Amino acid sequence: MKTAIISTGDELLRGVVADTNAAWMAGRLFERGLRVERIEVVGDDMEALEAVFREAFSKYDLIFVGGGLGPTGDDMTAQAAARAADLPVDRRDDAVCSIRAAFERIGRPMHDVNLKQADLPRGCRIIFNEKGTAPGFVLAVPSGTAYFFPGVPAELEAMFLDIEQELPAVAEGARRRCVSCFGIGESDMQARLGGLSVRYPDLSFSYRASFPQNTLTLLGGDDERLDEAAEEVRKLLGHCVLEVGPHPVSVPEALGRALAERGMTAATAESCTGGLIAHSLTEHAGASAYLRGGIVAYDNAVKRSVLGVSGDDLLRYGAVSRPVVEQMARGVAQTLGADWGLATSGIAGPDGGTADKPVGLVHMAVWGPGGMRHKERIFGGMGRSRVKKISAWTTMWMALRALKNEET
């Protein structure tokens, strides 16, 4: 089915906010086997909105619109949709009741301006909003059906899920295998895979870089062909493959899952990454089962007093060194009673480097059953935030490999 997503709002065109709604909806639609053919952003302009809606209403079976259903003058989506569909606008009593109920739920007075949110194209079906005030609506259009949601992500997502089951599902289009990788770039992936895509002409090979990881998605064919191709990819890419499955998997997600499956725990001691490892692990539900805690040991005094790092070693080798980061990893595991300790110490930049220890130098250590693992890397020319992120991900990747008794 031909499917389009339209996002509205000047704030998207000015770069004030990112269009996460379109990406989220596209992902949900893909899960149902519906491939989005067009994503467009339109500003708060009545003529522009009407023109885009009128074209979409004549070409697409399914149209999903996010934004512009609020009470202010720049919220024009409902009016523009009515004009594009050649329909009058009515103030809907059921929408008024829904808006009043929303204000009662949050304990705030409702201003008359909010009644504008009840002015909707004649004949539309309302989608009630349990997380906000603006109702959405469904409109039959010449080419198919158009769904309209508020732009607030939490509201849009909840309302989309309410109507999702009425959408068609195309099981064949949803077949895929995602090969999540770390420690290898897109061009290296393609070089290693060589002519594999030629051997599988019935599959599409889609590469996606999302620093510091890369994902190869195999689409199409049948399950047997997908599994066969994915296994060949796994062999060719070797230990760079985190996981093969229906969805991409991140390093912290894979590490958390591996710890939970083994009934083991981890603790973090971070200097240059500033708590990013602990933060990344707690982004996933269930982290309390495997993360004991974390210590941001930015100051050398904290390294000594809390983690038990030798003062002599700090003086002799410096904070950014193998002896110190290894003591941090062991010390945090022992201090917090964890099976595994993960530690980082480095120079994230943009200044602070020397001839011997340049900007981007990071020492990473993982201590646990089987002993200590250490890596020294120079992540040069990346910028502070990227140095922090790749250092955190590399340390978690080291821990994941250690859990699986694999070499890094």
Range list for CATH 3.40.980.10 in the chain: 3-164
Burial of 298 (0-12, 13-18, 19+ CB in 10 A): middle
Per-residue DSSP letter, 117: G
* Mean pLDDT of all residues in 115-129: 96
What pLDDT does 212 receive?
95
- Joined tokens for residue 63: 């149209």
Q: Evaluate the omega torsion of the peptide bond into residue 369 and state whether it is cis, within 30 degrees of 0.
A: no
Q: Which CATH fold would you assign to the domain 256-403? A: Maf protein (3.90.950)
> What torsion do the CA atoms of 216, 219, 223, 227 make, to the nearest 10 degrees?
-20
Per-residue pLDDT of 240-271, as tens digits, reads 999 999 889 999 999 999 999 999 999 999 99
pLDDT band at 11, cuts 50/70/90?
Answer: very high
Instruction: Tell whether the torsion through CA atoms of 132, 134, 139 and 143 is positive or negative.
Output: negative
| pTM: predicted TM-score of the whole model, two decimal places | 0.75
What's domain 3-164's superfamily in CATH?
MoaB/Mog-like domain (3.40.980.10)
pLDDT number for residue 254: 96
Please give the Cα distance from 239 to 401 (Å, whole number): 9
Written as six digits, the tokens of 43 are 């500003």
Res 221: pLDDT = 75
pLDDT digits (tens, 9 = 90+) for 375-392: 999 999 899 999 999 999
Query: In angstroms, rounded to a whole number, what is the distance separating the alpha carbons of residues 385 and 265?
Result: 27
pLDDT more than 70, % of the chain: 99
CATH of domain 175-249: 3.30.70.2860
Place of tokens 């934004």: 67
User: What does the pLDDT read at residue 147?
Assistant: 98
Q: Which helix (H) or strand (E) holds 280?
A: helix 276-281
pLDDT band at residue 171 under the 50/70/90 scheme: low
Least confident piece of the model among 7-21, 71-85, 156-170, 368-382:
156-170
Which residues of the chain are in CATH 3.90.950.20 domains?
A: 256-403
Query: Who's near 48: CB < 8 A, 6+ residues apart?
Result: 42
User: Which pLDDT does position 174 carry in this prediction?
Assistant: 54
* Element containing residue 298 per DSSP (H, E): none
Whether residue 53 has pLDDT greater than 90: yes
User: What CA–CA distance (Å, rounded) separates 83 from 49?
Assistant: 10
Length of the chain in terms of residues written: 408
Better-scored residue on pLDDT, 292 or 219: 292
Helix/strand/coil for 95: helix
* pLDDT the model gives residue 30: 84
Task: Report the pLDDT averaged over residues 95-113.
Answer: 91
Every domain range in the chain assigned CATH 3.30.70.2860: 175-249
pLDDT tens-digit readout, 197-254? 899 999 989 898 889 999 999 988 788 999 999 999 999 999 999 999 988 999 999 9
Return mean pLDDT, the chain: 94
**pLDDT per position as a tens digit, 312-356:** 999 999 999 999 999 999 999 999 999 999 999 999 999 999 999
